[in-house]
């Protein structure tokens, strides 16, 4: 059975739910507790606060979102989003994150057994963790280069974390308020890995 709840111009709070979930929220605020079997979640022109998400496809557009816990296989898509935060721990099976024109903060727990592949196109990646990354930034190339790839691993690397961003910013680890500001609103641009 599927739980479908479209919202528009309202604030919706969802209790714990163990069945299949398909949620759409437009021009409002969506707050959920534990959703253990997500099919799809769409948030547009609003805000999403998710305590716990199990599996599923989640799309956030022209909004901000925060995720307390992700488990299972998660596909996340951010488009034109600001200041979105994602906590990542060992209950995750895989994470596939695509972000366009968005600022996203991934906060892994200590001891996360993950292998990271982060690709940026006209975007940036900031590493605020002790995780070591290899990068193709320094490769000799004729002409300007706008696409970069970063790879790193923690523990046995059993959880694949794949991130692609275009014209956006990915911050791994604890992000400051300055880190979470949109690129055009920052006083100075910095890139650290």
Digit-coded pLDDT (tens) for 123-158 = 999 999 999 999 877 666 667 889 999 999 999 999
DSSP 8-state code for residue 183: G
Q: What is the mean pLDDT of residues 32-43?
A: 92
H or E, element range at 180: helix 177-180
Contact (CB, 8 A) for 82 and 182: yes
Q: What is the pTM of this model?
A: 0.85
Rg of the chain (C-alpha set): 17
Q: How far apart are CA 55 and CA 7, in angstroms?
A: 22
Hey, is 184 helix, strand or coil? helix
How big, in percent rounded to 5, are the helix, strand and coil portions of the chain? 5, 65, 35
The two counts, helices (H) then strands (E), for the chain are: 1, 16
Q: How far apart are CA 61 and CA 77, in angstroms?
A: 8
51-60 confidence digits (pLDDT tens):
999 999 999 9
Contact (CB, 8 A) for 97 and 79: no
The pLDDT of residue 15:
63
């Amino acid at each position: 059975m599927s739980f479908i709840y479209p919202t528009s111009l309202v604030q919706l709070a969802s209790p714990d739910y163990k069945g299949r979930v398909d949620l759409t929220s437009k021009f409002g605020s969506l707050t959920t507790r534990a959703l253990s079997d997500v099919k799809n979640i769409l948030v547009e022109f609003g805000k999403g606060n998710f305590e716990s998400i199990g599996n599923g496809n989640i799309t956030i557009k022209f909004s901000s979102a925060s995720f307390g816990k992700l488990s299972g296989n998660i596909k996340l898509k951010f488009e034109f989003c600001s200041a979105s935060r994602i906590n990542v721990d060992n209950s995750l099976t895989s994470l596939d994150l695509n972000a366009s024109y968005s600022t996203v903060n991934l906060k892994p727990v200590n001891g996360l057994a993950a292998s990271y592949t982060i690709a940026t196109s006209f975007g940036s990646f900031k590493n605020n963790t002790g995780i070591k990354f290899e990068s193709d930034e320094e490769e000799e190339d004729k002409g300007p280069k706008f696409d970069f790839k970063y790879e790193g691993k923690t523990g046995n690397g059993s959880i694949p974390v794949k991130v692609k961003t275009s014209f956006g910013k990915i911050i791994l680890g604890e992000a400051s308020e300055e880190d979470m500001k949109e690129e055009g609103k920052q006083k100075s641009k910095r890139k650290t890995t």
